[in-house]
Amino acid sequence: MNTMHTNFLRAALCMGLLFTVSTIQAKVVLPSVFSDNMVFQQKAKAAVWGKTDANKAVKVTGSWDNKTVTGKADASGNFKIFIATPSFGGPYTVTVSDGEDLTLKNVLIGDVWICSGQSNMEQPVAGWGKVVNYEQEIKDANYPKIRLLQGVHVTSNKPLDDAKVTNGGWTECNPQYIAEFSAVAYFFAREVTQKTGIPIGLIHTSWGGTIAEAWTSAETLRTMPDFAAAVNQVQEADKDPQGQNLARRQEEWHKKVMDKDPGFKQNWQSLAFDASAWKTMNVPGSWEENGLPDFDGIVWFRKTVKIPQSWGGKELKLNLGPIDDNDITWVNGEKIGETVNYANNRSYSIPANKVNAGEEMTIVIRVHDTGGGGGLYGGQNKLSINSETGDEISLAGEWKYNVGLNAKDFAPMPAANDGPNRVTVLYNAMIYPYIQFPIKGAIWYQGESNAGRANQYRTLFPAMIKDWRTKWGVGDFPFYFVQLANFMAPTDQPVNSEWAELRDAQKQTLSLKNTGMAVIIDAGEEKDIHPKNKQDVGKRLAYAALAKTYGVKMAFSGPMYKSHQISGNTVTLNFTSTDGGLKIKNGNELKGFQVAGADQKFHWAKATIKGNQVVVSSEAVANPVAVRYAWANNPPSTLYNGADLPASPFKTDSWPDITLGKK
């Protein structure tokens, strides 16, 4: 069968086209994971599957032992045949025949790794990424024992049988192909094959900016209350592939929610409404921190201010900053603005004929939070009413509030039928097609897009790992992941941090069997969410694999918090993974340690190394009860072990941070 014919048939399968093989004189057609230059997992019962004529006999022969295994296609022409692969080696050929031979050439037997996540896994050696020293890295990338399979971005509302790939399938690792391939995956494979001599196959299937639930199956997400309704939405959307009914369904949804909202039923926006029984909340700030933990849904806010005499009859500006997520705003009972999306600043005009000198003005805001944090955040903006002359009335402080509807009491808004950030759609299109193909393990770099929902990630991420392991059916295969790097501007004082919470959620996932974490709290960049140092990321993932999977005796982790003891005003911290002892790096003193008393207010601490322990204290905390280290978006990283690996950020407390509820 010629190459053009094979590629046409493969493309047809990938697009899910239905056809009768015999009508276009087709013979054996294999999914995209089978091609020249491929890697089969060593010492495995490896499936070879595809399509041919109905009920046709099919034979598969591997040149490593020249044994032929025979099977038969079903009435639809589908076949699957299992072959036994030897220990690593090659190159070999694999011939699949239904009477006409299709031979895969330059095939290696080795270890296959799935490489997935979001943009920091996707970031190529060159391309848009341009890692450190990328020009030299490309020139040096001659590793014929490393093979590359590059996935294409595809979404699907239901599982697909085949995945779209570039370059016609697998390629050898060389300067021609490495520039556009995942830098993290390449540096991981290079380290592993250099240390072990084992050929490595990399199946790279990632997508920038994506959420973990998009990479998880419907079966698993249905068991999780946060995602069950969204799974139903995706599967319903599959019945309307062009999205023709989406606008109508969203409009109907909005009407149903409004009809159910007691705020509209009782006219809470009305100037005459009596809100004296409402509770008070300090604004700006997330409502999770101010009396509504674990809450998503609709909350109404109300505040009354007195208008100065000089402002009478003049147009004013109402500045509310960003609101999470959507708002409708009224002044004296009349709607003046409505905005969708938490990232948008709200600045509404108050008509001059509504501004009465010396009288009170009542502002009512209906806030609809669809998930994660909610409320009037303010951000860098003042909450205020401003006159034409620049005078202002601050709106910060106490507001009256009342809950309208809990999100649990109504279905989520119907979502668009496309886009990657929908539950299951990346699993369906970019993971499911490979689950019949035996692998050694997986490496994963993701979390930035879930950083606002760390508490949820503590459940979601391990569920995704167990989901993949169940689907592949090859046991608890190794799963190694990257903890989020340092990013954004450093802070002078201890602060709450969504990224710190997400890192902690990742660290907790180490409780799963056969997992490992690459700590890169020292490899990030303040102003770039895509740090250029991907060499250390790949190496540290490889260290975990080499030590835990390949049995190489080496350090693979920096210091990990184990336990602590409190004595007077000092706290002594104990660590594991102290290979070569603890040491200070990136300066002459230990920085980044914080302590707090029962008031939960953290202060910078003095920290000293004593053997394999760290002793911390602060003059501001007479009776410490909790310690945190590297707890910020971009913290100092100073604690290392003798193997030059950084300590993971940690906290000894279980106090809620800014990431509450679904976060």
Domain containing 337 — which CATH number?
Answer: 2.60.120.260
Tokens matching residue 94: 């694999």
What pairs with residue 182 in β-bridges? Answer: 124
Q: How many helices (H) and strands (E) does the chain have?
A: 13, 35
Share of the chain above pLDDT 90, in %: 79
Q: Does residue 320 lie in a domain region?
A: yes
Q: How far is residue 502's CA from residue 508's CA, in Å, rounded to a whole number? A: 10
193 in any annotated domain: no
DSSP letter, residue 623: S
Tokens of 412: 């989520």
pLDDT over 80 at 91, yes or no: yes
Mean pLDDT of 353-365: 93
User: Under a CB-based contact definition with an 8 Å cutoff, are residues 334 and 383 in contact?
Assistant: no
* β 650-651/626-629 pair status: antiparallel
563 - beta bridge partners?
A: 574
Which of 76-85, 181-190, 393-402 has the weakest average pLDDT?
393-402
Q: How far is CA 179 from CA 122, 142, 183, 534, in A?
A: 12, 12, 8, 13
Distance CA 391, CA 378 (A): 19
Under 8 Å between Cβ of 546 and 480: no
Element of type H or E holding 539: helix 535-548
Angle between helical axes of 183-196 and 535-548 (0-180°, round to 10): 40
Residue 165 inside a domain? The answer is: no
Model confidence pLDDT, tens digit, residues 144-201: 999 999 999 999 999 999 999 999 999 999 999 999 999 999 999 999 999 999 999 9
Tokens matching residue 232:
């139903």
Instruction: Look up the pTM and report it.
Output: 0.77
DSSP 429: I
Compute the chain's Rg from CA coordinates. Answer: 29
Q: How far apart are CA 100 and CA 110, in angstroms?
A: 28
Confidence bin at 284 (pLDDT 50/70/90) = confident
User: Among the three residues 368, 387, 409, which one is the final residue of a domain in this structure?
Assistant: 409
CA dist., res. 463 & res. 481, Å (int) = 14
Tell me if 587 is assigned to some domain: yes
Over residues 586-593, mean pLDDT: 95
Listed residues 369, 394, 409: the one ending a domain:
409
Residue 613 is assigned to a structural domain of this protein: yes
Residues 444-487 pLDDT 10s:
999 999 998 999 999 999 999 999 999 999 999 999 999 999 99
Domain that holds residue 382: 260-409
Inside any domain, residue 429? no
Taking residue 164's Cβ as centre, other Cβ atoms within 10 Å add up to 18
Write down the mean pLDDT value for the chain: 91
In a domain, 503, yes or no: no
Instruction: Check: CB of residue 319 under 8 Å from CB of residue 327.
Output: no
Residues recorded for the chain: 663
Average pLDDT of 589-594?
Answer: 97
pLDDT at 360: 93
- Out of 350, 375, 409, pick the residue that ends a domain: 409
d(CA 194, CA 459): 36
Does residue 17 surpass a pLDDT of 60? no
Q: Confidence class of residue 322 from pLDDT cuts 50, 70 and 90?
A: confident
CA angle at residue 511 from 448 to 452, to 5 degrees?
A: 20
Per-residue pLDDT at 363: 96
SS3 153: coil
Structural domain contains residue 221: no
Q: What's the structural domain count of the chain?
A: 2
